[in-house]
Amino acid sequence: MAVPTIAWKDGIIRIIDQTRLPGEIVFLDIASLETLCEAIRSLRVRGAPAIGVAGALGVALAAYHFQGDSRPGLDRTIREAASALNATRPTAVNLPWALGRMTRVLDADPGGAVPDMRERLIREALDMLAEDDAVCRRIGAHGLSLIPDSAVILTHCNAGGLATSGYGTALGVIYAAHEAGKTVRVFADETRPLLQGARLTAWELRESGIPVTVLCDSAAAVLMRKGVIDCVIVGADRIAANGDTANKVGTCGLAVIAKACGVPFYVAAPVSTVDFSIPDGEGIPIEERDGSEIAEGFGVRTVPEGVPLFNPAFDVTPH
């Protein structure tokens, strides 16, 4: 991605408003915790690694704007900020992971002076921002050997630069193959109901010069049964200790089809996405979003009034 998904400068968090893509590139400058929480809930910034980094920067924002020299006051402000951010979205474990890392800065030096602690909190968040890019590039390098030349790859949702600090997990593998001189072609599921594949993945890949074709989610089986797809690569929002994986709803169905058709199925994710406290997928909390995303997600009602709606944002693919 040529445009960073998330950046920090002088107490301002700048993000791309992903709800406006692909029609226009709009940057939002966020100066308050409340605005950041709303941006995460409304998917203006989204993707497990990206919201982890955003959460860390949100804590840094609270530290940056803290006034006074009371260490208990700073600690209270930071922990309240972390709690508010942690409540925004329940499934992606990168968010509590990043927030825990920020609060441990306080725990590591309970007697530290306020100016020093503010600086250390901001530095920790910026370290996470840089680390995310480096980790995604390592994921790409590790996955490179899995991608044959002239590969045709199917992906679901968006696990690219927009879902991270700017490079990507699943798409990071594709970018690495492209940068290594391999010819790749991508089929991107549209990803109902909010069309992250059609709106975001297709936009990213086109901007990067990688051929991409968008298909309805329900058409993936057609391609796999015909032998068109060489492999499926997806990201993850939370991985249980046994390898069960929560990702955008529809992923489990793709995995079942891929197995039936003998198509390799890969999950690309950083260690921060693994939740070792949860033994298996049964313990992963699944976010359910408002049914209006199904019935009238883009301004046109497509479901009769009064019909019940079921809108889980994620599903779990058994290992």
> Tokens standing for 265?
């199925």
Residue from 132, 133, 217, 237 carrying the catalytic annotation: 237
Residues sharing a CB contact under 8 Å with residue 283, sequence separation 6 or more, in sequence order: 240
The reply to whether 237 belongs to the active site is yes
CB atoms within 10 A of CB 227: 11
- All domains in the chain, ordered by first residue: 6-138 (1.20.120.420), 144-317 (3.40.50.10470)
Helix (H) or strand (E) holding 6, with range, is: strand 6-9
Q: Are 43 and 194 in contact (CB under 8 A)?
A: yes
Return d(Cα 2, Cα 5) in angstroms, integer.
Answer: 9
Phi and psi dihedrals of 210, rounded to 5?
-105, 125
Give the pLDDT score at 2. 54
Give the pLDDT score at 299. 87
Helix (H) or strand (E) holding 176, with range, is: helix 170-179
**Whole-prediction pTM:** 0.95
> Tokens standing for 1?
């991605």
SS3 165: coil
Give the pLDDT score at 297. 86
Residue 301 burial (C-beta neighbours within 10 Å; 0-12, 13-18, 19+)? exposed
Give the pLDDT score at 1. 54
Sign of CA dihedral 157, 162, 168, 174: positive
Tens of pLDDT along the chain (319 residues) come to 556 799 999 999 999 999 999 999 999 999 999 999 999 999 999 999 999 999 999 999 999 999 989 999 999 999 999 999 999 999 999 999 999 999 999 999 999 999 999 999 999 999 999 999 999 999 999 999 999 999 999 999 999 999 999 999 999 999 999 999 999 999 999 999 999 999 999 999 999 999 999 999 999 999 999 999 999 999 999 999 999 999 999 999 999 999 999 999 999 999 999 999 999 999 999 999 999 999 998 889 999 999 999 999 999 999 9
